[in-house]
Amino acid sequence: MLFIDWNPSIEAFRIGSFAMRWYALCWLIGLLAAYFIVRRLYIQQKIKETLFEPLFIYCFLGILIGARLGHCLFYEPDYFLSSGQHIVEMLIPIRFLPDGGWRFTGYAGLASHGGTIGLIITLLLYVRKTKLNLWTVLDNIAIATPITACFIRLGNLMNSEIIGKVTDVPWAFVFQQVDMQPRHPGQLYEAIAYALLFVIGLYFYRKSPQKVGTGFFFGLCLTYIFTARFFIEYTKEVQEAFEASLPLDMGQLLSIPFVVIGILCMKGGKWMTWLAQKV
């Protein structure tokens, strides 16, 4: 009787023939929140506004392209690399039909690990163009990233996707669009964890703003997010069948190197200075 029946509409609202889905709306809110937070950080740190203007485009493209390629290559390589048409589907949000036609699908698969890699790559390109300090940019982005991650996972919850394992905990969700079994709301666990990280990051920033540029916030973000992801994965169903035969699922395996990199960044050291000079 305590289980939560979960069957929301995938549409947040509709105006005529235009429909805004919850998932897209959550992505939009998360990106806009990060945009205004980083803009405020740039102002506080007296970084030229002209250097901020292209940042949003770099981040948006890096996250979207990286997340899409990450899902296709990490979770469904057998499908997306099996033909030229499937490679096109990996890059363009369509699905080819057996009769020779096609239909628009949107990017149905996005992986957070790929999005993180894509974001880092585009930030490296941004730093090359603007000549800003690499670690200052990474730290500022890291302060805002958790709120975006939080809203993305809320979007997954509204889509009834990335579901948890069957459980009898009283807060279990019954995802009616999936089945009628009570399951862990893994998406909600992650959203709460990321919201908490956002608060922690703001606390450390207000207490020690001089840490921006040392790699501390970037390291904290990577270490916290992917440690949380590693353990929350134990409550979630595997996304692809091949993961069932692995000692750890794909999300956990991909999280480990990010945690290691995060710890190294928090510690700082000569290697960070060397890497910044190389970049």
- Candidates 274, 41, 27; CA nearest to 141 is 41
Show the tokens assigned to 199.
């608060």
Angle at 278 between CA 273 and CA 279, to 5 degrees: 100
Q: Which two tokens stand for residue 114?
A: 């790929």
Q: C-alpha 252: how far from its chain's center?
A: 15
Could you give the CA distance from residue 146 to residue 161 in angstroms, rounded to a whole number? 20
Q: Could you give the 3-state DSSP secondary structure of residue 29? A: helix
14 labeled part of a ligand binding site? no
The DSSP call for residue 164 is: B
Contact (Cβ atoms closer than 8 angstroms) between residue 219 and residue 141:
no
Measuring CA to CA, which residue among 61, 63, 198, 212 is closest to residue 132?
A: 212
How many residues make up the chain in this entry? Answer: 279
**For residues 36 and 41, what is the distance between their CA atoms, to the nearest angstrom?**
9
Instruction: Identify the H or E element spanning 57.
Output: helix 55-75
User: What is the helix (H) or strand (E) element at residue 15, kind and residue range?
Assistant: strand 11-15
- Report strand pairing: 102-104 vs 94-96: antiparallel
Strand partners, 164: 236
- Which residues make up each annotated binding site? 153
